[in-house]
Structure 1
Amino acid sequence: MTQETLSEAEYDAITDAAAHWCMRLHAVDCTAEERREFEQWHAAHPLHAFEYEAMLEIWEVAEHLPRPEPVATPMPLKPARTWRQYAVAAGVCALALPLAAYTGWSLGWLPNSYQHFAASDNVRQINLADGSQVELNLNTDLTFTNYKNERRVTLNKGEAFFEVSHDSNHPFIVRAGEGRIRVTGTRFNVWMYEDQVRVNLVEGSVLVTSNTALNGDGLRLGPSMQARYKHGDYMPQISQTYANDTSLAWLNGKLVLNDLPLSEALPLINRYLDKPLMLADNSSGSIRIGGVYNIKQLNGLIGSLPKVLPIYLTRNSDGNPVINPLPQHSPKN
């Protein structure tokens, strides 16, 4: 399989188109026909979607920049923008962007580096622009932005192991779910599934908060400690990990379940599945499961579960497999 290589001009054309569509889709006079044209363009090439997402992030950052006080000037009653006006506005923006970017960077509003990474079917090792190294588990997506006062990662989904380049004056922030992990240089793992987040510290120290809307930097973890939080938690739950902890087995391509109830095991299993497993009731969640599994082959685990556990499978209206406990028969007298 060969990888397509685009020329600089072709890449610039895609970036320009992404900027155009970002502007048009946010315009009040954007038509249904334009939206259909955008959908066709967006689906035509993977790089179109990537560049458009990058433009959206820049747009969202710009929405939070301070705006100048409005100046009272006469305005026509019904202003109508023409393509010539858009072209003039684009030209002004092109001249102003370098100064705005420098000012935004110096004030800590805008990043000078943006990276997006994803791993689907294979574990992936990546290097961030600050020199930090990250290993991405299957089905993981994250972005990195470098600001003057901090380095920021957003874990959109999945799991990642971080080896952060030390810089005490430039903290490294990972946003996961509703919480935040703050470090300066260390090695740690962040796992996220739906609204659940788990942080395992291997080396150094981190500060973990379960809700970025709360004041303070959160609770401090030392080596061999773990923090867990989910939606609505006021504080993360802190615990000690031990020598037999298997949270990082995925780095070797494995998922290890140490005799866990299904209610605890399914979040660990489901993030690898095309269709997540569901529980029929609380009694099915109490059934225990153990074993060592290849993370690339967990979809094949579903069909074998009734052979090793006292359960049977059904499907719900969304097509998800549902675990049901086998009926308990009373012993005959």
Structure 2
Amino acid sequence: MIGDSPVAAEAIRWSARLHAGDMSAAEHAELLAWRRAHPEHEIEFQAQQMLSRAVQAMPDDAIRRLYGGELPERPRLGRRRALRAGALLLCAGAAGAAAWGVGRGPGRPAYAAQWSTRKGERRSVSLSEGSVLELNTDTQADVAFFDDRRVVTLTRGEVLFDIRPDAARPFFVEAGPATVQVTGARFNVRRTAQDVHVAVEQGVVEVRGGPWWHRSRNVLNAGQGTLVDADGRQPGPQAVNLSAELAWVNGRLVFRNASLATVVDELNRYLAQPLRLANDRVGRLRLTASFKLDDPAGIVEALPGVLPVVLRRLQDGGAVLDLKPGSA
């Protein structure tokens, strides 16, 4: 079936009608009204437009291989345009913008930049069109702006995106198995080696994951989030605690009944030398606390004061947390 939602299917239909070249004035007005009816409509339509432009740029031989042969000539289209229209519908049903990667689509970027932070560093970046990126520790983000889209490729780390609305140039974040698409919103994306977590503070955000033949998709509103695993799978939208999720922007780490194993994993994002656990038992201890991020090493030093643990320093500069003698 073409499209993985009613909105996607409608966007494909409108894109195909537009590229057929014989739309009436009434149909153009209907298309414009549909695009303006909801941000999700514009997001899907722009994704199909990018796909259309890529198909139009492909040589005829590649189109025939994709479609599997010639299409019969249609009145008012001709054989060449019929072939491309058929290939476009085939590609639209299979792929969408996430299939080839919006950052590698047609055209050269009008603006490009690379931004990164070291461990323990945070920085704020203002982009050329007015959007703002807040980069957390150990983050790499590549920016590319095209005539019809804005793209950030998040190689690693975490970014809070505050995106200026621009319906003509949707904003994409490519983060491993996940592609995030907005027209204007404020949202957080965190990419680890295992998964990608997205949380929305303001606006509407679409998250897609996985290959085109088994693609997952969520539309998130403010206060919602999702987790995309390495295979692109994700549950439905989940409620998120934004105050805890975004505490790092204000220089804090907030833990609510978190396991010590989770706390250590989070601290190691900021520490120059890793903190380790002596065993699984110590990792199962629970912690509720709020720490300032200005001194992550000081947080490590403070842990024996709030939990029944001892801290042992290692020769390589790292440290190990173990249960205090006599602890249950």
TM-score, with length taken from structure 2: 0.60
Distance in 1 (alpha carbons) for counterparts of 2:195 and 2:246:
17
Task: Name the counterpart of 2:185.
Answer: 186
1:146-165 matched pairs, under 5 angstroms: 146-165=145-164
User: Contact 1:211–1:233 at 8 Å: present in 2 too?
Assistant: yes
Distance 1:242 1:263, change over 3 A: same
8 A contact 2:226–2:237 mirrored in 1: yes
Q: For residue 295 of structure 1, what is the aligned residue in structure 2? A: 293
Equivalent residue, structure 2, for 1:138: 137
Q: Which residue of 1 aligns with 2:258?
A: 260
Q: Deviations over 1:51-73 (max 9, x none)?
A: xxxxxxxxxxxxxx989x9xxxx
Tell me the secondary structure at the aligned position of residue 237 of structure 2.
strand
Partner of 1:61: none
SS of 2:167's partner is coil
Q: Is the 8 A contact 2:308 2:327 kept in 1?
A: no
* 2:94 matched residue in structure 1: none
The gaps in structure 2 that reach 5 residues or longer are 1-56, 62-102
Q: Which amino acid aligns with 1:259?
A: N
Deviation of 1:307 (Å): 3.2
Residue identity matched to 2:127 = L
TM-score, normalised on structure 1? Answer: 0.59
Kindly tell me: are residues 329 and 246 of structure 1, through their superposed partners in 2, closer, same or farther at Cα, counting changes over 3 Å? closer
Give the conservation status (yes or no) of the 8 Å contact 1:160–1:189: yes
- How much has 1:318 moved relative to structure 2? 6.7
* Cα separation, partners in 2 of 1:306 and 1:136, compared to 1, 3 Å: same
Q: Distance in 1 between matches of 2:156 and 2:310?
A: 30
CA-to-aligned-CA distance 1:16-63 (integer Å, 9 cap, x gap): xxxxxxxxxxxxxxxxxxxxxxxxxxxxxxxxxxxxxxxxxxxxxxxx
Structure 1 residue 167 displacement after superposition: 2.0
Identify the residue that residue 223 of structure 2 maps to in structure 1.
Answer: 224
Q: How far apart in 1 are the matches of 2:250 and 2:327?
A: 42
Residues 144 and 241 of structure 1: CA distance in aligned 2, closer, same or farther (over 3 Å): same
- CA shift, 1:187, in A, is 0.7
Deviation of 1:233 (Å): 5.1
Equivalenced residues, count: 229
Letter of the aligned partner of 1:268 in structure 2? E
Q: Distance in 1 between matches of 2:325 and 2:263?
A: 22
Residues 145, 152 of structure 1: 8 Å contact kept: yes
Q: Is the Cα–Cα contact under 8 Å of residues 226 and 235 in structure 2 kept in the other structure?
A: yes
Q: RMSD across aligned C-alpha pairs, in angstroms?
A: 3.2
Shift of 1:188: 0.6
Fraction of identical pairs, as percent: 29
1:274 equivalent in alignment to 2:272: yes
Q: Deviations over 1:151-185 (max 9, x none)?
A: 11012232211111212232211122322211111
CA distance in 1, matches of 2:128, 2:327: 61
Q: Secondary structure at the match of 1:301?
A: helix
CA–CA separation in structure 2 for the residues paired with 1:275 and 1:195: 21
Partner of 2:14: none
Following the alignment from structure 1 to structure 2, what is the Cα–Cα distance between the partners of residues 119 and 175?
18
The answer to whether the 8 A contact 1:208-1:220 is kept is yes
Give the aligned residue type for 2:206: L
1:287 is displaced (CA, Å) by 0.5
CA positional deviation for 1:272? 1.0
Task: Measure, in 2, the Cα distance between the counterparts of 1:206 and 1:277.
Answer: 35
- In the alignment, the residues of structure 1 paired with residue 199 and residue 171 of structure 2 have an alpha-carbon distance, to the nearest angstrom, of 16
